Amino acid sequence: MTDLPLWLQAVHHDGSPYYLTPLFPEVGEPVRVRLRTPVKAPVEEVFLRWTPDGEQTYEPMQAVEVSGPARYWEIILEGREPVLNYHFLLKSGDGVFWYTAAGPEAYQPTDVTDFRVLSNYRSPEWLTDAVFYQIFPDTFCNGDPQINPDRLPLRYPGYEPKIFPWGASVPETLPFQDGFFGGDLIGVSEKLEYLNELGVNAVYLNPVFQAPSNHRYDVVDYFKVDPRLGGDVALASLRQDMNVFGMRYLLDVVPNHCGAQHSWFRAAQEDPDADETDFFTFIDHPDEYHSWLHFPSLPKFSYRSEKLRRIMFTDENSIFRRWLKPPYDADGWRIDVANMLGRQGEVQMNAELSRLIRRVVKETRPDAYLLGEHFFDAGPQLQGDMWDGVMNYAGFYTPFMHWLAGFSQHTWHHGKITCSVPYPTHSLEATWRTRRAAIPWALARNQLNLLSSHDTDRLRTRIGGDESLHRLAAVVQFAFPGVPCIFYGDELGVENVPKYGSRACMPWEKAEEKQALFRFYSRLTQLRRELPALQEGGFQMLHTDRDSFAFQREHPEGRILAVANRGTQKLREIAVEHGGMPDGLRLREVFSGSEAVVQQGRLTVNTARGATLWVTC
């Protein structure tokens, strides 16, 4: 591996307002592109390399400004293509180097990691200061016991639903999906004041459509909200209640598969000539068919059926349109297993269906947020023509949890792959950087960053109940580019429970007991909603060592510095000159109020096990 000159660590560009304006140009609109290099570096010339209409060209950039330790180079790029790809070439006394979204290199890179400007894409503006709160309805709050499953029984073959007192233990012999606690949408409405106090302004609801199980990913009717949650009326009422607080909400939909109790699937099994038979793929009718991960209770849809595509997507009152309209007015969709949608052996319709969903949803509600579930590399689906964002497992959560709590990789058939060696900080940095480089900056700002979800262990459980690491994780989550999402109860330190794992009943009786952690989260939500640097600022990693890292978010209206330390030794100071921070720059730590000044290119941060968050004074 070629050693690069150290000054290349100070070269920086991203899609934030400091370096690129406008972020969302019209086709043909001039775009100002800036690059930062260190004043002390032997840089002689800088060129922007791009490929208008497929032909490579190098445009010279002009040195326009010196500020402290940084020199800024600038060019006005006038392109008439919907996507502008570019990177930089630096000619120096040390040789020639290239700089892309993946960082500096001594060899000419491929175009895969180019910076990209999208002129045919618009992010939902309301995401800029959004703070999401994920709710698993059955275990969040029981607002109306009169509609509990035992009071409002819905019978499905093979399901024996049982209702338990709030937070009670569930017998180990009971199938997980059959145990209910009675949470409902009325309960969500009752707790909006609590969410508002926390600082949340957007809610992501796990499935609410009619289904036999407590998780409701086995839908039996996409056109009805489950009566045990309060039905359609409760969702419309929740919408109105949220309007009082200025809140948004996402619905969770499963277009990849349905429940085996769905009337479409029952009709297909009963009659091989029924129209609905084409909605599925039968290997040996009626009992052998394609299903999600071979679970027979979840038959997989076949979108070769034009009729199914109309019902699900394109009809005026299709499933994807209906719930975005009054009186429900959902603000977007979370797409379950978006990576698997339309994929079935030789039939690979994922890209086609993803683009169709985008067209339909944006026609119906232009500011809707399209969020895909994707645990892996979602880069191809995050280019502006499919999803706005994904639940950012691969680009944030997974490598961060490896670093924070130890390497652990789930496998479907072989348990977990674990390693006792601490996950290296440089591996965390490289994963974050390469995942971010694979997508345009405009979409990097839209990724939903989480620390727990209904499909993962609770954060508090992963870190063994360590309060310092919990706070460290929350600081990093809120400071990282993207949209933070709190999993219900994490602000109270909720841990996994037997059998239900992360889907524990919300311990409302502990809300007063856990006020310190709640206030800590409230402060983070306030900062997220107030500071332009946390909303639109760039991202540059400034420090990595065995047990700590630090990054800055840079914006014309100020910058923030997040410092994280998983170790037991205090991190005293870090170098910041390569982040363009001049000597004399004063920063204040938001939780302690202490101040520090950049001196000789370094900043005293005094960060013990946990995290500190600094803002420019």
Cα separation, 487 vs 453, in Å, equals 6
- Quote the distance between the C-alpha of residue 343 and its chain's center: 23
Angle (deg, nearest 10), helices 398-405 and 425-437: 170
Classified as helix, coil or strand, 454 is coil
Rg of the chain in Å (alpha carbons) = 25
Structure tokens at 431: 């994963």
Q: Kindly give the residue spans of alpha helices, DSSP state H, lying in 123-217.
A: 185-190, 192-198
Residue holding tokens 């429900």?
328
Task: Name the nearest CA neighbour of 470 among 485, 484, 458.
Answer: 458
| CA–CA distance, 100 with 119 (Å, rounded to integer) | 20
Any idea which residue has 């995942």 for tokens?
435
How far apart CA 363 and CA 178 sit, in angstroms, is 38
Considering 336, 491, 554, 577, which one is annotated as catalytic? 336
Catalytic annotation on 491? no
Continuous H helices in 56-204: 185-190, 192-198
Tokens 């969020």, residue?
371
- Would you state the structure tokens that stand for residue 187, as one six-digit string? 């309960």
The token pair at 37 is: 């290099």
The one-letter code for the residue type at 231 is: G
> 546 burial class (0-12, 13-18, 19+ CB within 10 angstroms)?
exposed
Give Cα 577 distance to the centre of its chain.
Answer: 31
Three-point CA angle 318, 213, 294, nearest 5°: 80
Annotated catalytic residue 3: no
Q: Are 323 and 251 in contact (CB under 8 A)?
A: yes
DSSP conformation class of 300: B
Kindly give, in sequence order, each residue whose CB lies less than 8 Å from that of residue 410, ignoring residues fewer than 6 positions away.
Answer: 416
User: What SS3 string covers 485-519?
Assistant: EEECCHHHCCCCECCCECCCCCCHHHCCCCHHHHH
Phi, psi of 287, deg, nearest 5: -105, -5
The SS3 assignment for 399 reads helix
DSSP secondary structure code for residue 147 in this structure: G
CB 149 within 8 A of CB 180: yes
The dihedrals phi and psi of 243, each to the nearest 5 degrees, come to: -60, -35
Residue 23 CA to chain centroid, in angstroms? 20
- From the candidates 144, 373, 429, 589, which is the catalytic residue? 373
- Distance of alpha carbon 286 from alpha carbon 291, whole angstroms: 13
Q: Give, in order, the Cα–Cα distances in Å from 265 to each of 268, 431, 466.
A: 5, 42, 47
Catalytic residues: 336, 373
